[in-house]
Structure 1
Amino acid sequence: MRFEHDFLGQVELPDEVYYGVQTWRASQNFAITGHRLCPEFITALATIKKAAAKANMKTGRMPEAVGEAIVQAADEIIAGKLHDQFIVDAIQGGAGTSMNMNANEVIANRALELLGKAKGDYEVVSPNNQVNMAQSTNDVMPTAIRIASIQKTKLLISELETLHHGLRQKSEQFQHVLKMGRTHLQDAVPITLGQEFAAYADTVKRSIKRISRAMDNLFTVNMGATAVGTGLNAEPEYIKEVVRQLSILTGNTMVSASNLVDATQNTDELAELSGALKVCALSLSKIANDLRMMASGPKCGLSELILPAMQPGSSIMPGKINPVIPEVLNQVAFQVIGNDQAIGLAVEAGQFELNVMEPVIAYNLFNSLTFLTNAVRTLQQRCIAGIEANEARCRELLDSSVGVITALLPHIGYEAASAIAKEALRTKEPVKDIILRQGLMTADQLNVILSPAEMTKPGIAGKQYIKKIS
């Protein structure tokens, strides 16, 4: 065991742990979610500490031996080691001070080991004096949230691009499949299944653009702002260098905020990204709704689509297969929408020079990014890629619908079309058969007018045949 103390007093810690007294206090105070910091956020914290150590060595404030030990300790964390030593809860009071101190203490104690010193010998390497040199929780936290969010957002965008490509492929595969379009859940006019999937693809493409634009704002950070944005205890040379080091270490072009006070006070860019995720979730959920409806059946529903069979659908009904992949996407969308609400409230709750609600912002934003990424990957791999069209059923529903009558309006007029529609609904006789029986048009004329190519593009189908009947 070893003893560590802060200004509140002394605590006894197992000698094998790398965290210190402030981390221990936080673990006692904040047993909230049961979730610890995600790997990307831990890595972001270690990256910041490494960048700060390098910058402080360059300005001459930090001795090389201490700085190199901090860098090496940070590198180990970046490589995935010591993550089990980050024990604080993901939601906590203190604006993330406990998260920052968890990183400071783990890095300090590992650096001490590398220097041949005992853990807790903070006269040599202190969590506050050396690892946190020229920093504050109030610039470390916002920067770490941004770095982790950028990494997660890039993964999401990659999955969305794969989904976009998959939907495009399906739109081409289904471009010849004519089916009944619907508005108000009622028969409307014909459309191709390919056109519907092309619309889904374009929806995803817009989400990619929105999310990418929102991500662009995250490359601006407030490192060097320290406590309130005034840069107290941070040299101008350090501020430039730490951002330069972050660019090198992350592979991103990080930029120092032009107004560090603003960048320390406000978290609107995180709300903007969350908002883009919410819109993406809404769009994806609408697609999932359509897939579930078109796959309903298989005997007593629409059954226009055949979704890949993923698992038995019931513990009591043999042979039942449920649309579990679209269903899970719907649920993820609901969660992302709820997360956005929490983020919005937290962003609004900042006061004066700091938003102390950053932990709950980070927790919900990271969850939204992770959940959406996994859901999009699941949708593409386990649903979209294997979707098949039930062409016979699409044709059956189309032939039995009165919706095709709309294509005949320019040829026979609204009144005649209405009468035919009414008769078709009453007798269940196909519209095409009624028109032929009444001698209003020939079979050749109807075949042209009611062809997929004519009914699913702008213009008047079979224009050469127009002969209105009054």
Structure 2
Amino acid sequence: MNTRTEKDLLGEKQIPADAPWGIHTARALENFPIPGRPVPPALIAALAQVKKACALANKELGLLSPEKAAAVIYACEEIQASNGNYPLSALQGGAGTSTNMMLNELIANKAGSTVHPIEDVNLHQSTNDVYPTAVKVAAIQGLRGLAEKVEALQGAFQRLENKFAHIPTIGKTELVEAVPLTLGAEFGAFAEAFARDRWRTFKCEERLRVINLGGTAVGTGLTAPRSYIFLVTDKLREVTGLGLSRGENLVDQTANADAFVEVSGILKACAANLLKICGDLRLLHMNKRIKLPAVQAGSSIMPGKVNPVILESVMQIGIKVQANDFIVTECASRGSLQINEFMPLLAAALLESMELLGAACHMLSTHAEGIVADEAECERQFNASVEIVTAFLPAIGYDRSTELVKQFDGATDFRTYLENQLGTELVEKTLSPQNLMALGHRT
């Protein structure tokens, strides 16, 4: 195998001649042989955008030659567009230094032999400011994509709300029949939960807009010119199109990662809604009030069995996102003094949650389009339930309603019994969908 020789603090090392990176990445690949957990491509693309902004700032201030800056910028754009997967593990030590060095080396190799990975690509930077900034850029971009998918999910359930608005059913509390409402009202509650998820996901971008770029190692800006510190955030805004701002206290922004915990908590809320609503849909399907689309055979031994596999998949994603929230919280809390050493795991967990939730929302919204109500079964269950008597309390009172339940002999369904006891006109008016949905739907 053809090799080239590179050297660093620890000495010389042979690198494959065609390797797109250099000695620092080669050592990291040896030090962290962890399979299946590469640095997220979204983070690599975001870091390339950060490096581009730094090159633009250095060029404008005359700190990097136009030729080198042009080569660096071109390489950054190539890496961003490639959406490439690289084998470096996300679970690396060093607060993201290996990822930063990999980008420096990738960019320098693409830019040409005159560009130095540290002296030019990493000029006026530290892992400790470019890496957290890149995580925030990637997270904002991830949130925007997720918000679109949550919006589509909300819309799918709002359409079902309207479609099922005329179907009376029995609500359940503690899994026991409670009071009448409409099936549309049930689905309206699902839609409202997703509406809150959409709003929270959209708004929490604000928590990530404050960045520490220019703060270098510990937020003091040491080794970076003051003009660069103030300019580089402007350049990153131009590169990304995001409403980013330089933190007023860059030491704080470098040392503390609580903003990521807040955002992760919002993702966990979305996961909780998905778990709850998918669980409810499984119950409604089991009780034959709705029919879920059949998407695949459910058993290798039981002919004809079809399982709610889409719901189960979404629920598993919800569980994984909740677990990731614990990881983000732990990582943020375990930073020490002026740096968070566990930012790589935090970034991997946070970005994975966004990606998984986006997939879950897309799966569920697509699946929901095929949900149909079993109107005949809903009507049968509704008419058979003694709990529809609750709707009559304003007209006949609690004691009279209780007596009717006690006297019911089961010879007919309960609705027919009520019509015989109270008259068809009163029963039809009281149990009409319009009456039942008075407070259960948007007005």
| TM-score, normalised relative to structure 1 | 0.90
- For 1:216, the equivalent position in structure 2 comes to 206
Q: For 1:223-302, what aligned pairs fall within 5 Å after superposition?
A: 223-296=213-286, 302=287
Q: Is 1:386 the counterpart of 2:386 in the alignment?
A: no
Q: Is 1:97 the counterpart of 2:97 in the alignment?
A: yes
The gaps in structure 2 that reach 5 residues or longer are: none
Q: For 1:367-446, what aligned pairs fall within 5 Å after superposition?
A: 367-381=352-366, 383-424=367-408, 427=410, 429-437=412-420, 440-446=421-427
Q: For 1:13-24, what aligned pairs fall within 5 Å after superposition?
A: 13-24=15-26
Contact 2:210/2:245 (CA < 8 Å) preserved in 1?
yes
Question: Deviation per CA, 1:171-202, whole angstroms, max 9, x where unpaired?
Answer: 11111011111111111111111111111111
Contact 1:329/1:375 (CA < 8 Å) preserved in 2?
yes
- For 1:463, the equivalent position in structure 2 comes to none
Structure ID, larger Rg: 1
- For 1:338, the equivalent position in structure 2 comes to 323
**Alpha-carbon distance between aligned partners in 2 of 1:458 and 1:45, rounded to the nearest angstrom:** 50
- For 1:74, the equivalent position in structure 2 comes to 76
The residue identity in structure 2 corresponding to 1:404 is I
**Alpha-carbon distance between aligned partners in 2 of 1:170 and 1:53, rounded to the nearest angstrom:** 51
Contact 2:200/2:266 (CA < 8 Å) preserved in 1?
yes
The residue identity in structure 1 corresponding to 2:27 is R
**Alpha-carbon distance between aligned partners in 2 of 1:60 and 1:432, rounded to the nearest angstrom:** 84
The gaps in structure 1 that reach 5 residues or longer are: 118-123, 297-301, 460-470
Contact 2:212/2:250 (CA < 8 Å) preserved in 1?
yes
Contact 1:33/1:90 (CA < 8 Å) preserved in 2?
no
**Alpha-carbon distance between aligned partners in 1 of 2:146 and 2:35, rounded to the nearest angstrom:** 24
Give 1:428 deviation, angstroms.
Answer: 6.0
Contact 1:46/1:78 (CA < 8 Å) preserved in 2?
yes
Contact 2:170/2:178 (CA < 8 Å) preserved in 1?
yes
Contact 2:289/2:375 (CA < 8 Å) preserved in 1?
yes
**Alpha-carbon distance between aligned partners in 2 of 1:141 and 1:414, rounded to the nearest angstrom:** 65
Give 1:436 deviation, angstroms.
Answer: 4.5
Q: For 1:457-468, what aligned pairs fall within 5 Å after superposition?
A: 457=438
Contact 1:222/1:264 (CA < 8 Å) preserved in 2?
yes
Of 448-457 and 399-408, the range deviating more from structure 2: 448-457
**Alpha-carbon distance between aligned partners in 2 of 1:436 and 1:21, rounded to the nearest angstrom:** 85
Contact 1:400/1:428 (CA < 8 Å) preserved in 2?
no
The residue identity in structure 2 corresponding to 1:405 is V
Q: For 1:145-184, what aligned pairs fall within 5 Å after superposition?
A: 145-184=135-174
Question: Deviation per CA, 1:342-372, whole angstroms, max 9, x where unpaired?
Answer: 1101111111111111001001001100000
Higher relative contact order (CA 8 A, sep 6+): 2
SS of equivalent to 2:422: coil
**1:259/1:441 CA distance change after superposition, 3 Å:** same
Q: Give identity over the alignment, percent.
A: 39
**Alpha-carbon distance between aligned partners in 1 of 2:423 and 2:376, rounded to the nearest angstrom:** 25
Give 1:415 deviation, angstroms.
Answer: 2.3
**1:55/1:325 CA distance change after superposition, 3 Å:** same
**Alpha-carbon distance between aligned partners in 1 of 2:134 and 2:396, rounded to the nearest angstrom:** 67
Question: Deviation per CA, 1:101-125, whole angstroms, max 9, x where unpaired?
Answer: 000011111112xxxx3xxxxxx42
Give 1:277 deviation, angstroms.
Answer: 0.2
The residue identity in structure 1 corresponding to 2:368 is I
**Alpha-carbon distance between aligned partners in 2 of 1:408 and 1:263, rounded to the nearest angstrom:** 60
**Alpha-carbon distance between aligned partners in 2 of 1:44 and 1:458, rounded to the nearest angstrom:** 47
Give 1:34 deviation, angstroms.
Answer: 2.3
- For 1:464, the equivalent position in structure 2 comes to none
| TM-score, normalised relative to structure 2 | 0.96
Q: Is 1:323 the counterpart of 2:308 in the alignment?
A: yes
Contact 2:146/2:201 (CA < 8 Å) preserved in 1?
no
Give 1:409 deviation, angstroms.
Answer: 2.0
Q: Is 1:308 the counterpart of 2:293 in the alignment?
A: yes
Of 226-235 and 60-69, the range deviating more from structure 2: 60-69
Match of residue 358, structure 1, among 343, 357, 364 = 343
Give 1:33 deviation, angstroms.
Answer: 4.5
Question: Deviation per CA, 1:23-56, whole angstroms, max 9, x where unpaired?
Answer: 1111111123522122211111111111111111
The residue identity in structure 1 corresponding to 2:437 is T
Contact 1:420/1:431 (CA < 8 Å) preserved in 2?
no
Give 1:435 deviation, angstroms.
Answer: 3.6
